[in-house]
Structure 1
């Protein structure tokens, strides 16, 4: 029995609408829940396996997302070579400017942006180099680590130069300068360490001593004054000592030290806000500083149309802060990077640049609706035109969806602490964390002259009682540059 054409058209409209309602509300956060849950409980090996098995990440257009998620998990699992292999591929992919083919472009215009390849947010692109720097350093390759640390701000500048208008406000990263300073110190290059610390201080000073939600760290102040003194820069030493009100005892240098990075929580996840036309414009407001205004051309009849705008949702961390206890002393971890304000600003700037693309997507859907209505009128008569156009408008509204893909294994924050090491086999530190509960872990760091870097992760609630970093020393590399020989590089593997 042949189904009448009119009934077929109506059934198609309803079917598309139901399909869209069932599928279009799913975000990438939903699709990545399983492996994120394993990361939360520090089951990094299992998380890596789940990323491999994730069907959404196996799609070619999501290759960059796969590389970033897997690269970070391998880093946390201590597989530094594999992590860098993945991040290097991601770097090349970004550098080749991930292309969108014609089919993907059409699909993105008629449905939603998730049909196109994921190209990454600008702050995500530069964080690849942060983790590559840590990987190289912990593999005993400090020079390669330094190259990656330098690339962070260079890449930010390169990305911003290609935008003709609505450029990014996030163009430099103070933490990247601090990281450079630490890496220069680890290789015995105190002069360039001082320059890097000074560059970081200038970023804070130029923004009322607060840069993207982070107050100038006390440790940065100490490192700047200390390196000025080591270099014999009397004027700079006196200026900064007075500016920061630091005493000679507070900037004492030690023959062996460790800098411990504490990554806490999971970074913001993307969601969407879906709105309709109001008074001649689409307006989305998350807060006073992050609003999107897209005007609708006068006389434009958009029909039943909604617009989806991506937004970042902050994920609350289990711990609010942490401190190190050692040798009857204690020091607080100092916040050095907060990803939520950076993510919000980066997305806001991108959305302003892509306002035209959003309008084009709506126009394409409207044109499709009109085209289907015309076909229905020709086949079925005037009565069918309105029904089909309405169904197409409804389907267009239902498929309107923001791109909710983002690098979800990034931490919420990064903090750090610098501590001296005593000349004994192992130095024991208690990391006391506080927030929803108070927990503690113990780490043991062997004595080595020079500066060691250690990474420590608290994605969710602490589930282990003992973490023992393993270290690899590169004496020859350091001796080439240091006046006093320094052993550098450290590695921590959390299982």
Structure 2
């Protein structure tokens, strides 16, 4: 027996509403809490399993996200070959320009952008090469590592060339230049190391000695003075010595050294913010440093007075800083990369480029509500038309959600320190981290002539019995959202 039209239309309204409740307010950060918690406690093998089992990441549209998350965790787990295989797939996927099919495009316009394939933020795309460089170095392939380090700024420039308007302000990375310099040194190429260090210093100098939240590192100053002296560049040596107020005692070279990168905390997570229509434009001013202005074409009645856009939320790291002790000496780790200001700037520039798409998405929802209203009027009369149009407008507003996907396992910051290695000794270093509490850890680096690169991670507190409140709070909130959705669905079914 055919279902009556009136009942069919009512069922559609209820069905749409139920679907909205099921996903309302749940971000990708919520969906990834389980594996993030394992990463936090350094249970990297368990984290990989959870990433593989994550239903959200298993969807084809989220494949790039899956590759980046798993690749990073495998890197932290010391599985450098497996990590690079995943990152290579991610690199190829990005280079092939991830395609959005017609169905995904329609779904993205009528629901929210998370229905489309995730293509990655520009700074995420270049960080793939950073981890590939570290992986190659640990695999005993320093020349391949250098190739990946060079790709960082090249990729940034290639990406930016594609944009006709509102180009990225983040077009070069000072840390990438420093990394190149270190890898050149590791391969014995002091001349190109000096050039890379100089390029990094010039980026700082052009920005009042502070580049995306990072001050000019003292270690970079020392490396410039030391390499200019090694190369016999007298003029540059004298200039940098005077500029940085350094002496020969500050730059004593050693036959064997190690660079230790300290990755601290978890990088910013994406949430969403609603921006409201005011005087013919959608305006967001909740972040004074990054205002958003999206004009509404004259005479357009969108039927919705607010739209959702993503925003980055900074996640507090447990530790605020660290220093390393060796041979009765102490050196502080120096900040060399802070992802929050980079992420905010990159997202802001992208939002400005996609302003038209955002307006079209809202317009598409309005057009859909008008279409449903016309069908309702033809079948049920004038009263039904207004009811259905109003319901569809409400549904459109409710589905107006931002894409909250982002690479969750990136660190909040990267710092580094340069230490000498002694022959015929264990070369033990004590790392002391401080902030909400002070903790110590001990690492050993085997002696080897030349320059070595090592990574050390503190996603959370370096103790197994500590549960970070952030994860517990977020898990409670997620359970409340799920419970609320179930209660609402039960109520609707009863009716």
TM-score scaled by length of structure 2: 0.92
Report 1:231-242 matches (<5 A). 231-242=231-242
- Contact preservation (8 Å) 2:304, 2:362: no
- TM superposition shift of 1:282: 1.2
Counterpart in the other structure of 1:227: 227
Determine the structure 2 residue equivalent to 1:455. 455
Q: How does 1:428-467 map to 2 (within 5 A)?
A: 428-463=428-463
In the alignment, structure 1 residue 16 sits paired with structure 2 residue 16: yes
Shift of residue 215 of structure 1? 0.1
| Partner residue, 1:475 | none
Distance in 1 between residues matched to 2:157 and 2:252, nearest whole Å: 36
1:271 — aligned with what?
A: 271
Deviations 1:280-301 (Å, cap 9, x if unpaired)? 2211223211111112223322
Q: Which residue of 1 aligns with 2:103?
A: 103
In structure 2, the residue corresponding to 1:154 is in which secondary structure?
helix
Match of 2:335? 335
Q: Compute the displacement of 1:278 (Å).
A: 3.0
For residues 39-94 of structure 1, what are the alpha-carbon distances to aligned partners after superposition, in whole Å with 9 as ceiling and x for unaligned? 00000010000000001101011010000000000000000000000000000000
Greater CA drift, 415-424 or 3-12: 3-12
C-alpha distance in 2 between matches for 1:425 and 1:451: 17
Matches within 5 A, 1:247-326: 247-326=247-326
| Contact 2:276-2:284 at 8 Å conserved across structures | no
> Larger helix proportion, structure 1 or 2?
2
Structure 1 residues 361-440: aligned runs within 5 Å: 361-440=361-440
Q: Is the partner of 1:26 in helix, strand or coil? A: coil
* Equivalent pair of 1:62/1:118 in contact (CA under 8 Å): yes
**Cα deviation code 1:299-351 (max 9, x no counterpart):** 32222453110000000000000000111110000000000000000000000
RMSD of Structure 2 on Structure 1 (CA): 1.4
The Cα of 1:422 is off from its aligned counterpart by 1.6
Distance in 2 of aligned mates of 1:305 and 1:379: 29
Measured after TM superposition, the shift of residue 16 of structure 1 is 1.5
Q: How does 1:74-85 map to 2 (within 5 A)?
A: 74-85=74-85
Q: C-alpha separation between the residues in 2 aligned to 1:403 and 1:305?
A: 19
Aligned 8 A contact 1:194 1:227 in 2? yes
**Contact conserved, 1:305 with 1:394, CA < 8 A, in 2?**
no
Distance 1:122 1:227 in 2: 32
Structure 2 spans left out of the alignment, 5+ residues:
466-495
Q: Distance in 1 between matches of 2:94 and 2:11?
A: 43
8 A Cα contact 1:10 1:388, kept in partner: no
Contact 1:424–1:446 (Cα < 8 Å) also in 2: no
CA contact (8 A) 2:110 2:364 kept: yes
Could you tell me how far apart the structure 1 residues matched to 2:301 and 2:223 are?
61
- State the 1:7 CA deviation: 4.6
SS of residue matched to 1:463: coil
SS at match of 1:457: strand
Judge which range, 122-131 or 266-275, deviates more: 266-275
Q: CA deviation at 1:201?
A: 0.2
What displacement does 1:377 show?
Answer: 0.6
| CA deviation after TM superposition for structure 1 residue 13, in Å | 1.9
What TM-score do you get using the length of structure 1 for normalisation?
A: 0.92
1:424–1:447: 8 Å Cα contact kept in structure 2?
yes
Pair 1:176 & 2:176 matched: yes
Measure, in 1, the Cα distance between the counterparts of 2:351 and 2:335.
28
Gaps of 5+ in 1: 466-495
Structure 2 CA distance for aligned equivalents of residues 3 and 173 of structure 1: 61
User: Is the Cα contact below 8 Å between 2:133 and 2:146 reproduced in 1?
Assistant: yes
Cα–Cα, structure 1 residues 349 and 191, in superposed 2: closer, same or farther, change >3 Å? same
In the other structure, the counterpart of 1:91 is 91
Which shifted more, 175-184 or 440-449? Answer: 440-449
Distance in structure 1 (CA, Å) of the matches to 2:337 and 2:73: 19
CA distance in 2, matches of 1:157, 1:11: 51
Moved more, 9-18 or 55-64: 9-18
**CA distance in 2: counterparts of 1:213 and 1:304, whole angstroms:** 37
Shift of 1:11: 4.2
In the alignment, what sits opposite 1:471? none
| Structure 2 match to 1:245 | 245
After superposing on structure 2, the runs of 4+ consecutive aligned residues of structure 1 that deviate more than 4 Å are 1-4
Is the Cα–Cα contact under 8 Å of residues 305 and 396 in structure 1 kept in the other structure?
Answer: no
CA distance in 2 between partners of 1:326 and 1:425 (Å): 12
SS of equivalent to 1:51: helix
Q: Aligned with 1:12: secondary structure?
A: helix
Shift of 1:4: 4.8
Q: Deviations over 1:205-227 (max 9, x none)?
A: 00000000000000000000000
Q: Assess if the C-alpha contact under 8 Å between 2:41 and 2:464 holds in 1.
A: no
Give me the whole-angstrom Cα distance separating, in 2, the residues matched to 1:66 and 1:303.
37
